[in-house]
């Protein structure tokens, strides 16, 4: 009976969004101010615009930002390394504020040299 109430697609979508990141990296600014970040979730975060807000769902959390900030989370959570200053310049949104929230919530981590090495040849360090 539960299967009829909760089809497989609903279960898998919920599991995807509730699963905590296994690759969590906490640096807490030990290397200086955070300048570059990368999303560390096992599954892509879901970003949904809902009128005056943007909702980001990932690692079992739902974060809400003003709708005008939407371009910044899309760049920051793309799965590619992102430079916070360049995201701010590209979008006109203060990405420092978003970055701190997303770091504190464990959605992504600071891009260290070791993490950056895993992206060599995959994409650019800039949005």
Torsion of CA 98, 38, 31, 86, to 10 degrees: -60
Residues whose CB falls within 8 Å of the CB of residue 108, separated by 6 or more in sequence, listed in order: 37, 38, 39, 40, 41, 76, 77, 102
The pTM score is 0.72
Tokens, residue 72:
């910044």
- CA 67 → CA 16, 51, 52, 53, 102, distances in Å? 24, 7, 5, 4, 16
Query: Looking at residue 17, what is its pLDDT?
Result: 60
Q: Could you read off the pLDDT of 26-42 as tens digits, one per residue?
A: 666 666 788 999 888 87
Average pLDDT taken over every residue of the chain: 81
């Amino acid at each position: 009976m539960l299967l009829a109430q909760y089809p497989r697609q609903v279960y898998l979508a919920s599991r995807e969004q509730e699963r905590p990141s296994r690759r969590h990296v906490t640096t807490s600014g030990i290397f200086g101010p955070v300048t570059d970040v990368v999303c560390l979730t096992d599954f892509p975060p879901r970003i949904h615009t809902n009128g005056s807000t943007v909702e980001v769902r990932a690692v079992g959390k739902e974060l809400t930002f003003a709708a005008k900030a939407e371009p910044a989370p899309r760049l920051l959570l793309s799965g590619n390394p992102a430079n916070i200053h360049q995201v701010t310049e590209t979008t006109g949104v203060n990405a420092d504020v978003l970055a701190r929230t997303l770091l504190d919530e464990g959605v992504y981590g600071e891009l260290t040299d070791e993490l950056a090495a895993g992206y060599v040849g995959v994409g650019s360090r800039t949005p």
